[in-house]
Amino acid sequence: MRIETDIVKTASVVGLLCAVYGGVVLWPSGKQNKALAATIQDKQDKLDAYQLPDLDPLRSEIFELRTELRERPDSLPVGDLHDRVLHHVSNTLIYHGITEYDTSYRQPQRYARFAVTPIDVQFSGGFVQAFDVIRRIEQEDPGVRIERLEISGQPDNTSGYVTVNLQMSSFYLPRQREGGRR
């Protein structure tokens, strides 16, 4: 009898512990699992609602643009341009009242389809003047790209007088030689 009572007590305690474990651990995690499943299903429904765009028109347009680009003549001027670029830079500086400046160019670099002449310019003037000179050099000469720009001035100078060091590249197509480009 005593053993039977102990078995009943033990079974009751085990049942109570299982009920407590189920109520404390399993039931809340089951609710969380249901909430996560609902969230996943909602996200899956939204993902299914998105349709992939039809890329065929874009592919056709890209093909047409590439064909047009291949058929378009080269847009870079032919022949060494450093003299023309230096003339343009000098005219721009003089137009803005800057008469003291230094310009120089280095040996052209030749590549398979084009060539580049590095050009250095140094001048001094007012900040607004310098900004306008740089803008005109860059905008009015499409074969030029400013590679490096250094503007320096004295902090105690209230007139806005600055010194500009400008490194740029002049792009062009080499002249044709013996039936082909160099």
Q: Is the pLDDT at 165 greater than 90, yes or no?
A: yes
Residue 96 lies in a domain: yes
CA dist 166 and 83 (Å) reads 17
Residue 10 lies in a domain: no
Residue 124 lies in a domain: yes
Domain, as residue range, for 126: 82-181
Residue 168 lies in a domain: yes
CA dist 130 and 55 (Å) reads 48
Tokens 């320096």 sit on residue: 152
Q: Is the pLDDT at 56 greater than 60, yes or no?
A: yes
Residue 146 lies in a domain: yes
Read off the DSSP letter of residue 112.
Answer: S
123 contacts 93 by C-beta, under 8 angstroms? yes
Instruction: For residue 6, give the H/E element and its range.
Output: helix 2-21
Residue 15 lies in a domain: no
CA dist 146 and 171 (Å) reads 11
Backbone angles phi, psi at 175, to 5 degrees: -65, 150
* pLDDT digit string, tens, across residues 129-155: 888 998 888 876 667 888 999 999 887
Q: Is the pLDDT at 176 greater than 70, yes or no?
A: no
If you average pLDDT over residues 99-118, what whole number do you get?
A: 84
* pLDDT digit string, tens, across residues 74-87: 555 555 565 677 78
Predicted TM-score of the model (pTM): 0.50
Residue 138 lies in a domain: yes
Residue 98 lies in a domain: yes
Helix (H, G, I), strand (E, B) or coil at 71: helix
If you average pLDDT over residues 26-33, what whole number do you get?
A: 70
CATH number at residue 118: 3.30.70.60
Read off the DSSP letter of residue 152.
Answer: E
Please give the tally of structural domains in the chain. 1
Q: Is the pLDDT at 179 greater than 70, yes or no?
A: no
